[in-house]
Amino acid sequence: MAKTVEEIRAVNAQGKYQPNWESLSRMPVPAWFKQAKFGIFTHWGLYTVPEYSNEWYSRNMYIKGMPAYEHHIKTYGPQKDFGYKDFIPLFTAKKFDPQAWVALFKRAGAKYYFPVAEHHDGFQMYKSDLSHWNAAEMGPKRDLLGELRQAALGVGLHFCTSNHRAEHWWFMGHGKQFDSDVKEPLQKGDFYWPAMPEPDNQDLYSTPYPTKEYLEDWLQRVCELIDNYRPEMLYFDWWIQHEAFKPYVKEMTAYYYNRAAEWGTPVGICYKYDALAWGDGIPDVERGGFEQQKPFYWQTDTAIANNSWCYTDSLDYKGTNELLISLLDAVSKNGNLLLNVGPRADGSIAPKDRQILEEIGDWLAVNGEGIYGSTCWKLFGEGPTNIKEGMFQDLSGMHYGPKDIRYTANNGSVYAYLLSPAGASEATLTAFREFDEHDQPAFHAPIKRVEQLGVGPVSWYIDKAGLKVELQPNADNRPIGLKIMVE
């Protein structure tokens, strides 16, 4: 285990991967990740204690005029008397059962699991030698990440983790603007340190520029996670794209890839925007996706609710069908879905979250053969409705209908998923229409059989409009999967 920056650099000096983009681009996307398709993300930490607004409570409670600022004073008192750190004793996780969590995630059909190890608030959910502000020493006094890792591996889930420490450079800075418990002098090791003024957080060159001391601390924290928990994949939020992080991101990536080579474990890094050079990791699209198939592998992450990544008392939940459509849309375009759930502060998972996860699992148990291990087909799909490309383009508000179809391919068959069948008794797949040399369809080969997943063989025929398939309508307007088998 490397505990110092010098030791980290010594590992890299002797390793296969060097801290430059050319060397790091030689790490392939793990085969298990391409096979898995569906993972679960959890945002859980001190910010869940107030159950208010969202996971940025620790920032917003120190900004005058923000609803969280007023809520905090009304509920807990002035910030100088009850600050964010005072949530730590209230974060007891008394109902936390890691085996129950991962059993639910496996029941939902997930193949990998991404708990957040440290969010922007700076409280580590794991045992650390670098800071005493962690769950093993304070609050629940348990190595929460370690327990989740053991439980996940115990049921066959790939264990991954997420680090959002980069944004802590400025996340608590507003607390210095009035009489609060965020006070100077702040030194390395303090919970709120460094609490710098918040920049335009999309400015790649913003000042005040992160210091060497802070950047080295970030590097050490991530490498500690790598060594102690051996995640099969890492995820970072957007601010590591800042210019100051670039050399440290390269060092961290090389260290991770070199350690993974020692373990004999295929790993990867999910990143947003262009925080890593192209080909050095896996692009992640937050709450969004792409309009067309992509030649590169990617992931979308979204939450079970529209308005928060953590549990609150006012969640605007998405419907199960919307989440299934998100999964199908991503897989048809060469991507994965990472779905976030927010456990409550006591460690329990709310009934609505549980219900949605179980409904997803029920659907995947019937329809998963065209998902797991699949590849994209010639066409991602057909129909009038499609997501707009980019981040923050969630499906909420979009109206899919019986003509909206997504395709995958697996084990020699083509799978067609009707996203919103709306009780239709017949489907028309225009990609399989009769061959015409002046209007050639995407598919032109003898078809052996067509099956509706969960039902069995169904009647079908082909005409100039397309492949006409007789359907058995399902409950709740769930997407219908069709398996098209060729001779």
Mean pLDDT for the stretch of residues 376-386: 97
Superfamily of domain 391-486: Golgi alpha-mannosidase II (2.60.40.1180)
> CA–CA separation, 308 vs 200, rounded Å?
22
Question: Cα 432 from chain centroid?
Answer: 34
Mean pLDDT for the stretch of residues 177-188: 96
Mean pLDDT for the stretch of residues 192-198: 98
Q: Are 430 and 417 in contact (CB under 8 A)?
A: no
Q: Where in the chain is the domain with CATH 3.20.20.80?
A: 5-286
> CA–CA separation, 61 vs 172, rounded Å?
9
Q: Is 161 exposed, middle or buried (0-12, 13-18, 19+ CB in 10 A)?
A: buried
pLDDT tens-digit readout, 97-112:
999 999 999 999 999 9
Q: Which two tokens stand for residue 392?
A: 């923050």
- What CATH number does the domain located at 5-286 have? 3.20.20.80
pLDDT tens-digit readout, 1-33:
788 999 999 999 999 999 999 999 999 999 999
pLDDT tens-digit readout, 413-437:
999 999 999 999 999 999 999 999 8
Please state the pTM of the whole predicted model: 0.98
pLDDT tens-digit readout, 54-105:
999 999 999 999 999 999 999 999 999 999 999 999 999 999 999 999 999 9
Q: Where in the chain is the domain with CATH 2.60.40.1180?
A: 391-486
Is pLDDT of 134 > 80? yes
* Average of per-residue pLDDT values in the chain: 97
Mean pLDDT for the stretch of residues 383-393: 94
Between 38-47, 332-341, 370-379, 385-394, the lowest mean confidence (pLDDT) is in: 385-394
pLDDT tens-digit readout, 314-357:
999 999 999 999 999 999 999 999 999 999 999 999 999 999 99
pLDDT value of position 76: 98
Pairing between strand 38-42 and 112-118? parallel
Is pLDDT of 395 > 90? no
Tell me which residue of 455, 317, 341, 433 sits closest to 379, measured CA to CA.
Answer: 433
Which pLDDT band, with edges at 50, 70 and 90, does 392 fall under? very high
pLDDT value of position 35: 98
Q: Are 334 and 294 in contact (CB under 8 A)?
A: yes
State what percent of residues in the chain have pLDDT above 90: 96
pLDDT value of position 453: 98
Cis amide bond preceding 197, omega within 30:
no
Is pLDDT of 396 > 80? no
> CA–CA separation, 222 vs 368, rounded Å?
34
CA atoms within 13 A on the CB side of 233: 32
Q: Are 197 and 267 in contact (CB under 8 A)?
A: no
pLDDT value of position 476: 87
User: What DSSP line would sit under 47-76, residue for residue?
Assistant: GGSS--S-TTHHHHTTSTTSHHHHHHHHHH
Q: Are 453 and 483 in contact (CB under 8 A)?
A: yes
pLDDT value of position 3: 87
pLDDT value of position 397: 79
Residue ranges of the alpha helices (H) in 269-409?
320-332, 351-367
Is pLDDT of 475 > 80? no
Tell me which residue of 305, 320, 317, 309 sits closest to 360, measured CA to CA.
Answer: 320
pLDDT tens-digit readout, 223-281:
999 999 999 999 999 999 999 999 999 999 999 999 999 999 999 999 999 999 999 99
State what percent of residues in the chain have pLDDT above 70: 100
Count of helices and strands (H, E) across the chain: 12, 18
